[in-house]
Amino acid sequence: MNAKQQTQAVIEVNNLETYYGQRKILDGMDFQVDQGEIRVIMGGSGSGKSTLLWYILGLYKPDGGTIKVLGQDINQISFNDHLKLKQNIGVAFQSGALFSSMSVGDNVAFPLREFTDLDENTIRIITRMKLEVVNLGGFHKLMPSQLSGGMIKRAALARAIVMDPRLLIFDEPSAGLDPVVASEIDDLILSLRDTTGVSVVVVTHELDSAFKIADRITVLDQGKNLLTASVEEVKQSKNKRIMDLLQRRSRHDKLDPEDYLRRLTQENYTLS
């Protein structure tokens, strides 16, 4: 990798290892996202998609490997530098994670009130602008409980972009939405990248959505980066795991009844 490529990477994960108890979740994961790219992460349940996100966001300390975000090793930097870094990252959670005790407007304004010295008028104007971007203009007074699933995702997106971040991270942005609303969210993500040049990482199960927005797709399997390639390359992959994923086939091997019975009756097997 040359020096130019290094400066362009917004996320660089090298040989990341994480455990949950004795179980290895991420096994020598390598992952890189370039400036201005929309990268979709796909994989079956338990493949390590969300875990990878949580480690990139610095919510947990890895057991091995390095994670660089916007050029900084998140496990080596000071609290203050990490705080500044976090203000350059916008995150939209699967559930939206809007603060239920605050109105939509206050949710979007929250990062501005916490981390800037802007006066209330300016905060109000910026908040309204961001809500307009996600087509929620006029909804600032509503409480999260009064919003539909799609509106919650859009409000979460408005909060994620309110600090004009350089990196946007989405966890299942279209999950649980009807195809029309999901398509609207996809269009918003594309439009944001095209207008602001923000880099985007999206974890999704939705194939249509992934193929529509991704510049490159990373397929994870059993805690490893199985393939990182363009949409066409992923579609044409002959890898069995990827073909199963794209054709929505169960990946479970056929269960051997004898083996199953033996495991059930093992000494250490308890229902608790």
Partner 1 sequence: MKHKVVQKVENLGQLTVQYLERLGFAMRLFWDSFYWLIVGRKYKQRVRFAQIVKHIKMDGVDALPIVLALALVVGMMLAIQLIYALQAFGAQSQVLLAIAKSVTREFSPLITGIIVAGRSGAAIAARIGSQVVSQEIDALKVMGVVPVRYLVLPPLLALMISMPMLIIGADIVAIFGGALFSVGKLDMSITAYMVESFNVLVVGDIIQGLIKSVVFGVIIVLVGATTGFYVTGGAEGVGRATTTAVVVSISFIVLADMIASYFLTQ
Footprint on this chain of partner 1 (rule: CB under 8 A) = 57-59, 79-80, 82-83, 86-87, 89, 91, 93-95, 97-101, 110-111, 114-115, 267
Nearest of 153, 136, 156, 159 to residue 209 by alpha carbon: 153
Q: Which two tokens stand for residue 8?
A: 């362009």
Find tokens 């990139």 and name the residue: 56
Least distance between partner 1 and beta carbon 151 (Å): 16
Give alpha helix (H) positions in the chain: 3-8, 49-56, 79-86, 104-115, 120-133, 149-161, 179-196, 207-213, 231-235, 240-246, 257-264
Closest separation in Å from C-beta 25 to partner 1 = 17
Shortest reach from residue 84's CB to partner 1, in Å? 8
Cβ at position 111, least distance to partner 1 in Å: 5
Least CB distance to partner 1 at residue 88 (A): 10
Q: Which is nearer to partner 1, 46 or 58 (CB)?
A: 58
Q: Which is nearer to partner 1, 38 or 152 (CB)?
A: 152
By three-state DSSP, how is residue 146 classified? helix
**Widest CA span in the chain:** 70
CA atoms within 13 A on the CB side of 30: 4
Nearer residue to partner 1 within complex by CB, 44 or 90: 90
Which residue, 156 or 242, is less far from partner 1 as judged by CB? Answer: 156
Count CB atoms within 10 A of the CB of residue 152.
23
CB-CB contact of 87 with 114 (8 Å):
no
Using only C-alpha atoms, the chain has a radius of gyration, in whole angstroms, of 20
CA 198, distance to chain mean position in Å, is: 14
Smallest distance from partner 1 to CB 120, Å: 13
Among residues 97 and 143, whose Cβ is nearest to partner 1?
97
Q: Give the residue with the Cβ less far from partner 1, 159 or 212.
A: 159
Amino acid at position 175, single letter: A
Q: Quick check: 68 and 12 in contact, CB under 8 A?
A: yes
Q: How far is the CB of 106 from partner 1 (least distance, A)?
A: 13
> Cβ closer to partner 1: 87 or 183?
87
Minimum CB separation from partner 1 for residue 267, in Å?
7
Nearer to partner 1, 97 or 229 (CB): 97
Structure tokens at 247: 């054709």
Helix (H/G/I), strand (E/B), else coil: 144: helix
